[in-house]
Structure 1
């Protein structure tokens, strides 16, 4: 069972941070030597590579927890032919996103413990650092809801913070909008995806080196199994 109060508290929480989200995020990740655009592009470029690798259709994509739209420019860059559906619990964040990036993207606000999209309607569901804001007791519900809107054979890609990485822990512990965050390990996220009905669940670690060690990033493809990356992604299939 999900808690309606949780949904409303998340809406209020992210409405309150929406105006300052970008600035707070930029300050919070200064230690990495990168800006928010670097991390947003990293994920969408990585998503493009994964989609190409598995030769999956990507005509319709959902950005679950799209926030103020940081991923939109990179969806436009790497998925120019795809229709993008941005969904979020925060109405204020959605309005800011529309103003920042006017275009053809579709928007929907999450309510009633439901993603307001039709069953079997999208090819890919993408979510970036959202699930650590959702109470652990509700993960299976939301993963099942994302599975509902995904076409048979479609894919789920969830990017999350890795609680085993010390820089990640520092960033989360000092971030205003992560005050109520509860990080989740890759094995536990895989297990919850299985409980929600997803299959072929795999996780890989990402983002091992800060900018001062950028020359070492060429090594990252060979150490995706090592649970020390700043983030990881889950890929699951319906």
Structure 2
């Protein structure tokens, strides 16, 4: 999570992202929107309305628009090691969040500061030996009973691996399968992490997407998320 590496791509992130996923037939906004829709739907089923939200590794703020629409009354913090990315995000969405730089190790908030933590395709950029420690750090700033949603690319999906291979800012990425990520969240102290696989059909087959709700247990979707709760004190 070197600042220089992310600053290098900040200005070109949107264009490079769009180019890398062109085979899906979708634009980056589609992927940002479905993630927040999934989070909001899962929390709504539990009757949860988070007051304080942490977007970990928020980059140029692609998730902030959908997140602000889904949680209009929440306090939202975008955290990222790239100051240039955060500067872009703050100009895209002035006054809509707290844009906070991060040293890659310690989240600059007190214990229990957030009710919801969210990470969208961040951990494949982070060395494996740092994963458990960073997930513990996210857990530290979550309140008891708070949720963590961690989205990642699925290395078992051929379109996903093709997109990553052809994306300049993913040059050093190491994809993580869902089972390994779930195990790391458990090792970091989160209880009963659940894996949900997503995005089985490209836009060409979008009429089949209503079937996806029956496929979420199959490890072949383009992406997945792991949802876990911090044990209540």
TM category (shorter chain) comes to over 0.9
Residue 118 (structure 1) aligned with residue 110 (structure 2): yes
Alignment of 1:30-41 (within 5 A): 30-41=22-33
Instruction: Identify the residue that residue 176 of structure 1 maps to in structure 2.
Output: 168
Residue 159 (structure 1) aligned with residue 170 (structure 2): no
C-alpha distance 85-221 of structure 1, shift in aligned 2 (>3 A):
same
Instruction: Identify the residue that residue 203 of structure 1 maps to in structure 2.
Output: 195
C-alpha distance 138-215 of structure 1, shift in aligned 2 (>3 A):
same
Distance 1:173 1:213 in 2: 23
**Displacement of 1:66 after TM fit?**
0.5
Provide the alpha-carbon RMSD of the alignment.
0.9
State the 4+ residue runs in structure 1 displaced beyond 2 angstroms. 54-57
Long gaps (5+) in structure 2:
none
Output the TM-score relative to the length of structure 1: 0.95
Residue deviations 1:158-208, cap 9 Å, x none?
000000000000000110000000000111001000111111211010010
Output the TM-score relative to the length of structure 2: 0.97
C-alpha distance 20-179 of structure 1, shift in aligned 2 (>3 A):
same
SS across alignment from 2:12: helix
C-alpha distance 112-189 of structure 1, shift in aligned 2 (>3 A):
closer
Long gaps (5+) in structure 1:
1-6
**Displacement of 1:128 after TM fit?**
0.2
Instruction: Identify the residue that residue 91 of structure 1 maps to in structure 2.
Output: 83
**Displacement of 1:54 after TM fit?**
2.2
Q: Is the 8 A contact 2:60 2:89 kept in 1?
A: yes
Residue 47 (structure 1) aligned with residue 47 (structure 2): no
SS across alignment from 1:225: coil
**Displacement of 1:112 after TM fit?**
6.0
Match of 1:68 among 60, 64, 67: 60
SS across alignment from 1:163: coil
C-alpha distance 88-193 of structure 1, shift in aligned 2 (>3 A):
same
